[in-house]
Every structure is written in C-alpha cells, then in structure tokens.
Amino acid sequence: MKNYTRKEFLKLSSAAGAALLLNACGIGSEEKGEREKEKVKKDTAKAIKSSVSDAPNVHIDLVDKNDPRYDKLRQGFNKRIDKYPAVIALCTSAEEVAAAIKYAHEKNLPIAVKSGGHNMEGFSCNDGGMVINLSRMSMVEMLDDDKIRVGPGCTLGVLYDAILPKGRLLPGGSCAGVGLGGLTLGGGYGLFSRKYGLTCDHLLEATMVDGNGNIHTTKDDVELLWALKGGGNGNFGVVTEMVFTTHKAPATMQAHHFKSVKLSSEKALSILQTWMEIAPQLPDSCFSGFVLNGSTLNILITNYEYKDTTLQLLLDTLAKVMDEFHSSGQEVLSKKLKDYYGLPGPVYFRNSCAGLFRGFDDIKGYIGQVFDKIIHTPGMIYQINTLGGKVKDPGFEKLSSFPHRAYDFVSELQAYWEHPSQDKRLAEATTEILKLTEQNDINREYVNYCSLEFSNYETAYYGANYTRLQAIKRKYDPDNHIQHPQNIKA
C-alpha cells in the first residue's frame, strides 16, 4: 500500500469529495473479475442491434465498441469501474439529446447520463445501454446582472478559469474535473457554501430533455426547478443548459493547516470533539475539514476574508491539541484554489458518504470504533467537512429539494489503492464501517456521495421530499428511460 505524501493526500481527499465509482465485479479474485468482464463485453455486443449508420435524422456523434474512442469515453474517474455501453452519444445541444433519447427508445436501450463522470458508483455509465455524454456541452457565457449560462459538461476548473478573472464566483466544490451538471443537481457544496449556500441554490433556470425526448424549460414549471435543485441526478431527464446567479469573487484566500501523527483512536476522538465544538463557531467565510488518514490527522481551515479575533481564538484553541500548525499567506483566490483541484485521474478508489451530523453527540457512541478501523487499515481515510452557515437559509430550503440543511457536518469514507488485488480488503473494511454507521441510526446521506450499500437510499438521500420527487418522475419520465440502480422510481 502506498503511503501518500501530504501534497498527494490533499489532492486525493479533494478529489474524493466529488468522484468515485463502485463496481461489484471488482470485488473478489482477479480471475473471476476477468471472466465477468468478458461476459459483459459479449452481452454488450449482442445488445447492439444496429450500427452507427442507423443514426437518427438529427446528427449525433454515436460511438460504439468498434470506434477507437470507445474505451476512453466509457471510462469514468475510477479505474475500478468497467462498464460497456452499447453506444455513447456525444451531444452538443438539447435537440441532439432529444434525438439520442428517441434513438435509444427505438433500440430499447436504457439511458445513463454523463457530465463529468465522477459519480461514486459509476451511475454515469451502464452495460448494454446508451450513455449520453455531455462533455462537449461545456460553454460558459456571461449574461446581464452578473448571471452566467453554463453547459452541464463544464468542469469546475473551466468554470473558475472563465469567471474568476471577471471578478465573479459561483459557489462550488474544489475538484477541477467535476462536471457542473452532476454537482448542481445533487446539491453541490464546498469551500464557499457556508458564506453563500449550495451550488443548486444559485440555479435560476434549466433546460431539460425528458425521458421521452421532449424539451422543457423550468421557466414553465417551478416544481421542476425545485426538484432539480438537489434531486435531479439521472432521475427525470437530461439537463442541457443552466443559468446561475453569481457573487462578487473574494480577492484572496488563506489556509490554516494542523497535523498530528501516530494517533490512537482515543486521541483522535478527543481531537474530533474539540474540532466539532469549534467548527460551527467559525466565520461563514471559513470551510474546515477533519481528515484521518491512517494514524495521521490533518485539519484544514480555509478563509477568504481577513482573519478576525474570533477566528484567531479558535485557531489557538485547535493548535493546543494538535502537533503542528502553520498558515499560508493571503494568496490570490484563483491561484490558491488550484491547491485543492485534486488529481486528474482516473485512479483506483472508493468513496461514499458516511452520514450527516448536527454535532459530536450524534456519533460519540460509535465513532471510536470507526477510527480504530481507519487507523489499522492502510489506505482508508475518514473525513468530516463543515456545512452550516448559509446552507441553513430557510429561503433556500423552501426553493430546493436538498433535504439535509439542518446538519453542520457531512462525512466521507474513502479508500485508495494502486492494484486491483487490494480492492477486496478495502471493500470489506468499507462495508464494516458503513454497517456500523447504519446500526447507530445514521440514516442521512448526501446523494452526490452515493453508495450501493445504503439500504434505504430513497429516504437517506431525499428525506421527506422523496414522495414529491416521485411525482416529478411520473410527469417527465414515467417509463423510467433515464435510469440507474438508485434513481427515483415513479
């Protein structure tokens, strides 16, 4: 197992917040996995009932297994995922998406949607169906009143490069390769959420092609807009265009790093309690992450306003319980953000949510057991990030389907490796921790950090909003053409 340097670790933990996939075929012996891969390839070949020459009237760039681009396009962020769609539709407009959906109907192909390919369970691909690839729909257009029009395939890195030089900011995550479509439709949080709210809170309009190939705009249906803001990932249709409001971008950012090494689970637990008491008191301009990587603990606090007395007191309190502490200088925001852009991928890894919490009391009964497992399982990382602040805004809550605004913390369970043979051990450890979490009544999960191991994913992801979201599914995709293993069911 590789021991990551601090710089590599920060990149990995940043990437993990937005990108991981699960493939059950990867668990077990490599020989069995290869047999299953070959079976999938053969089944997929049978599922392709026609060639690209049978494409619909509207021109679509259709890629099948005979195209040299196929293997690269079917690959998501996680190298462990091996899925073989019958055809990949590279679309550039809503009209092309509509034609692709109708073509899929004719060929009886289920449809998956890919913007950045960072879904943690590989839901942006499928076996034997159609993948609608939106990577070419990546435009960023500045509008009046500080609004922007963006394509779903636009990645965060491209977005920031386009709007930060113009002095504007859309609150989003930090991993540069994440597609804005998937991020927004699941909620979208990151370094700026406590000050400005979630990414979805800034979505003003969207264009969507429904499961039957009809084009809609949320200007005609405010209930659809509500549903897309936290409940729209691969559920109702394919979003092809989004309009957001933006904020004036902060000029600079500063980072404060704390580190402790060779921790016991008891010591890590004590530090966690201190951190969870401090974190909600941070200024809203701050983000903080608690990251236990084996027996090494890193705590990050970022701030894009100038440090005040309150922040300094909290930093001093945390420094007393950690081994090391240092702060960066104030750096230009566009430059500092690149420290958290993550690895370009693809890499082998597994990531999922491990619950949302109000505070330490929610997890004190079992988190020591989790820490013991993390410390004694090389390759495992347990991370808790801050929410709160503007995320709790009642106005935002009313206008979106994102259900978890009452919670100040969201957790991530992560694992990284270099060779497929290491997957089984880490998969077993992941299952053990997720079962322990569920047994302790932690049943709230962030949909963008999905896992096939969540037994009641409907309420875990969407809470009391699930029934209301089902009505949107019945309206726009009653026959479930847009689908994945955990999509909203009509």
Mean pLDDT of 279-299: 98
Average pLDDT rounded to a whole number, residues 265-275: 98
Residue 43 clears pLDDT 60, i.e. is over it? no
HEC profile of 206-250: EEEEECCCCEEEHHHCHHHHHHHHHHCCCCCEEEEEEEEECEECC
Report whether pLDDT(49) > 70: no
pLDDT by residue (tens digit) across 303-320?
999 889 999 999 999 999
Q: Can you tell me the distance from the alpha carbon of 248 to that of 128, in angstroms, rounded to the nearest whole number?
A: 45
pLDDT exceeds cutoff 60 at 5: no
Tokens 């750096």 belong to which residue?
331
- Band of residue 345 on the pLDDT scale cut at 50, 70, 90: confident
Residue 56 in this model has a pLDDT that exceeds 70:
no
**Spatial separation of the C-alpha atoms in residues 268 and 274, rounded to whole Å:** 10
Please write the tens of the pLDDT for every residue from 81-120.
899 999 999 999 999 999 999 999 999 999 999 999 999 9
Residue 4 pLDDT level (bands cut at 50, 70, 90): very low
* Tens-digit pLDDT profile for residues 145-201: 999 999 999 999 999 999 999 999 999 999 999 999 999 999 999 999 999 999 999
Q: Is the pLDDT of residue 288 over 60?
A: yes
| Length of the chain (residues) | 490
First to last CA, the chain: 44
Map out the domains of the chain with their CATH numbers: 6-19+252-457 (3.40.462.20), 140-249 (3.30.465.10)
Residues in Cβ contact with 30 at an 8 Å cutoff, skipping those fewer than 6 apart: 420, 421
Q: What percent of the chain has pLDDT over 90?
A: 85
Chain Cα centroid distance, residue 66: 31
Q: How far is residue 276's CA from residue 385's CA, in Å, rounded to a whole number?
A: 10
pLDDT at 80: 86
Of all residues in the chain, what percent carry a pLDDT higher than 70?
Answer: 89
CA distances to 11, 271, 339 from 334, rounded to whole Å, are 16, 32, 10
Burial 54-87 (b: 16+ CB within 10 A, else e): ebbeeebbbbbbeeeebeebbbbbbbbbbbbbbb
Tens digits of per-residue pLDDT, 212-266?
A: 999 999 999 999 999 999 999 999 999 999 999 999 999 999 999 999 999 999 9
pTM: 0.90
